[in-house]
Every structure is written in C-alpha cells, then in structure tokens.
Amino acid sequence: MKKIAILGSTGSIGTQALDICARHPEEYRVAALTAKSSRKKLFDQVRRFRPEMAGLVDGIREEEIPEDLRFCHWMSGAEALHAAAAEVEADQVLVSIVGIAGLRSVLDALGAGRQVLLANKEALVTGGHLVMDLARRMGKPLLPVDSEHSAIFQCLQAAGPNRAEKILLTASGGPFRTWKKEDIHRATRAQALKHPNWDMGAKITVDSASMFNKGLEIMEARWLFDMPENRIQVVVHPESIVHSAIVFADGAVLAQLGTPDMRVPIGYAMSYPARMTTGVAEPDLFTLGKLTFEAPDEEKFPSLRLAWEALRAGGAACTVLNGANEEAVARFLREEIAFGEIYTLVARAMDRLSGLGADSYEDILEADRRARAVVNER
C-alpha cells in the first residue's frame, strides 16, 4: 500500500486524486492533506480519509477543529506544507498547490526522499535548475501530472532508446480562441472563467484564457524533458483529445490521446509504471468525427512571445514573468484591471527587471517579490 500526501487537496487536482484513492482503497492510504482556506471541504475530506496530519495554510485555531476530527494532527501556515511534504511518512507527495509556494514544497519533498507527483508548474518555471538538480542527486525523477506533460512523458516511455527531436505541446486555445484581439482585451471575469473543456481553479482558468498557462508549460517542458526551447512547438487543438506528442528524427510522430479528464494523468503518476482504472471512459472517435489543429496567434496572445523571451533571457526572467502574471491575474479577478492589461503588466515587469539572477532560492523569492511590486505600482 502506498502512502500519499496531497498538498492542495480541496482544489480540482486534489479532489480528483482523492477520488482515485477512494476507488483503490487497497492500494492507497492518505497520510496528509493540506488546503489554503477551504476548511469545511478539508474537514469533510479528513472525516472520510482519516489522514495522520492535516493543515490549513491560512491558519486554524485548536478550538475551531471539530471534536470528531481531533484524532488528526492539525497544523497552520507554511509549516503545514513543510510537514506534509517532508515530515509525515509518505511514499508520494502530490504538489497541487497554485503558485510559487509550490517551489518550496517540491524542494522539501525531494530533500526528504519522497516521490513527487508534480501538478504545480511554478516550481519548474521559477526554480527549474534547483529542482532538477536536487531530483537527480536524490534519484527521484519528477512524475508530471499536467495533462500535456503527462502525455509527453507517456510518449517518451514508448520511445525506448529513440530520442525525441521535438515536442508538440497542445493547447485548447481557451474561451477566446476565435475572438478578435480588441474583444479579448475587454473580456470580463465571467467570460475568462468559462473554459470550454476543463474544470480548473480560477487562476489556472484565467491563465488558459490568456494562454500564459501554455507559456508556463513551455518552461516546464524545457526542464522536465531537457529540451531546448526552440524544439518545443505549441499546437492549438480545441478538442483537447490529443494531449501532446513527440517527433522523431525520421519524421514519425507519437501522440497520446484521451478524454479531457484530469483523473487520467493523475492516476498514471500515482500508479507509474503500471496503469489502473480511473473511472474515465476512452474517447469516442466516431462521435468526434475530426480533430482540429491550428497555429497559435501570438498577436492575440502575446503571452507566448513573452514566454519565449523569458526563456532566452535566462536568469530570473521566468520568475519575473510568473510573479508578475500571478499578481496581474489576482488584480483581474478582483476586477481592478482589464483582461488585456495582464499582458501589459507582465511585459512591464520583464522590461523593468531584466538581468536579475536566480542562483539560489533566495534570489528567486526576491525576483518574485520585485515583479509583484511592479504590477502593484500605482
């Protein structure tokens, strides 16, 4: 039986991981659960799965813990994330928290010799060199949970000794794929949160609408698969059936297909190298009829251009892009700025903070802090 700790258990990825645990109670025991602020949902999860430890990052007082849940060791703040990642006895740590906070948790879990199931892009976007170096030293390769990176990983397992020459990273195009540039700039919060294919949290859904999500995934793929950025190509595929592909030297393409349901990549990471039932049906290709592929429009979605620029710049440029985007998206969700201003604010931060180094964890945190400060300037 594998023991798993889930950081971000009340979010979309965390709840689907728990659904898989419930389907296979003889194979998985939940050791730890953490959430940011959704205490009622976390209480319900603790009642059902009875972990040894649970934590709320936003904090919880002892008197707020229901009597029937006091069998569990409760923690608050960043200490809860550290304990779940590195102190609770677990074989696997699913890092599904959002944002740069995931970097510390990934480093903590790897340092404790845990197998990391990675559902946090920002850990590699901001600290890819630190994470991959530690993973190599610990002999613990990261198992990707993002649908695109899981697809690439699965294709590479089938490639045998043949090295991929190029990665084809698919993108749904989000809700604004067919919109005019000026209409995208004026898009509302409600419009940005209507993703056509995936059920995700607010921040990731907005990132998908702006295609910053795909920019972050380019950076993630560069580190996960040791692939130069000029050999990673984005392909818009609105049906979200082909989750990504790899290209070989002879021109052959190997792709992974599946119904757009995150339980498939989550389950593969949890059970790797085996496969198990997830409750997801295979795609009905006859009903689909056709699959569509398009080139991305970098004029309408400048996030892709900014991502390439950050990768080429090196240093802390990717950290600056990520921090500025996180802060700009937060302002958009509070309806303080227009959707199109997300791009403007990220570009401003990258221009203002060019040349920053990222040699240490402290350097990365400082670059992130400064990027957020630029976005919040009045």
pLDDT tens per residue across span 344-360: 999 999 999 999 999 99
Mean of pLDDT over the chain: 95
Beta strands at 28-35 and 73-76: parallel, antiparallel or unpaired: unpaired
pLDDT on residue 198: 64
Judgement on whether residues 199 and 66 belong to the same structural domain of the protein: no
Whether residue 219 is contained in a domain is answered as yes
Are 34 and 55 spatial neighbours (Cβ–Cβ below 8 Å)?
A: yes
**Percent helix, percent strand, percent coil in the chain, to nearest 5:** 50, 15, 35
Peptide bond into 273 cis (omega under 30): yes
Judgement on whether residues 94 and 158 belong to the same structural domain of the protein: no
Examine the pLDDT at 199 and tell me if it is beyond 80.
no
pLDDT on residue 295: 96
Judgement on whether residues 223 and 339 belong to the same structural domain of the protein: no
Q: Which of 126, 141, 156 is the last residue of a domain?
A: 141
pLDDT on residue 305: 95
Whether residue 308 is contained in a domain is answered as no
Judgement on whether residues 177 and 289 belong to the same structural domain of the protein: yes
Examine the pLDDT at 137 and tell me if it is beyond 90.
yes
Whether residue 262 is contained in a domain is answered as yes
pLDDT on residue 98: 87
Average pLDDT over residues 71-80: 96
Q: H/E element holding 109?
A: helix 101-111
Q: How far apart are CA 231 and CA 229, in angstroms?
A: 5
Examine the pLDDT at 99 and tell me if it is beyond 90.
no
Average pLDDT over residues 122-129: 95
Whether residue 72 is contained in a domain is answered as yes
Judgement on whether residues 222 and 158 belong to the same structural domain of the protein: yes
Total number of domains constituting the chain: 3
Judgement on whether residues 92 and 200 belong to the same structural domain of the protein: no
pLDDT on residue 54: 98
Examine the pLDDT at 200 and tell me if it is beyond 80.
no
Q: Which of 239, 271, 299 is the last residue of a domain?
A: 299
* Token pair recorded at residue 1: 């039986």
pLDDT on residue 10: 96
Residues forming beta bridges with residue 54, ordered by sequence position: 33, 74
Q: Which of 257, 272, 299 is the last residue of a domain?
A: 299
Judgement on whether residues 319 and 191 belong to the same structural domain of the protein: no
Cα–Cα distances in angstroms (integers) from residue 234 to residues 230, 261, 335, in the given order = 11, 21, 30
Residue matched to tokens 């907005």: 206
Whether residue 307 is contained in a domain is answered as no
Whether residue 205 is contained in a domain is answered as yes
Q: How far apart are CA 22 and CA 326, in angstroms?
A: 33
Judgement on whether residues 157 and 89 belong to the same structural domain of the protein: no
In this predicted model, what pLDDT tens digit does every residue of 284-295 receive, in sequence order? 999 998 999 999
Average pLDDT over residues 34-50: 96
pLDDT on residue 194: 84
Q: What is the CATH number of the domain that holds 367?
A: 1.10.1740.10
pLDDT on residue 340: 95
The parent domain of residue 67 ranges over: 2-141
Examine the pLDDT at 42 and tell me if it is beyond 70.
yes
pLDDT on residue 32: 98
Whether residue 53 is contained in a domain is answered as yes
Average pLDDT over residues 126-138: 96
Whether residue 7 is contained in a domain is answered as yes
**Burial level of 112, CB count in 10 A (0-12/13-18/19+)?**
middle
pLDDT on residue 197: 67
Average pLDDT over residues 152-173: 95
Judgement on whether residues 54 and 79 belong to the same structural domain of the protein: yes
Q: How far apart are CA 240 and CA 261, in angstroms?
A: 10
Examine the pLDDT at 63 and tell me if it is beyond 70.
yes
Average pLDDT over residues 297-311: 95
Choose among 91, 11, 48, 17: nearest CA to 279.
Answer: 17
Judgement on whether residues 270 and 349 belong to the same structural domain of the protein: no
pLDDT on residue 161: 92
In this predicted model, what pLDDT tens digit does every residue of 325-346 receive, in sequence order? 999 999 999 999 999 999 999 9
Judgement on whether residues 26 and 55 belong to the same structural domain of the protein: yes
Q: How far apart are CA 241 and CA 256, in angstroms?
A: 8
Q: How far apart are CA 92 and CA 109, in angstroms?
A: 9
Q: How far apart are CA 268 and CA 273, in angstroms?
A: 8
Q: What is the CATH number of the domain that holds 44?
A: 3.40.50.720
Judgement on whether residues 161 and 225 belong to the same structural domain of the protein: yes
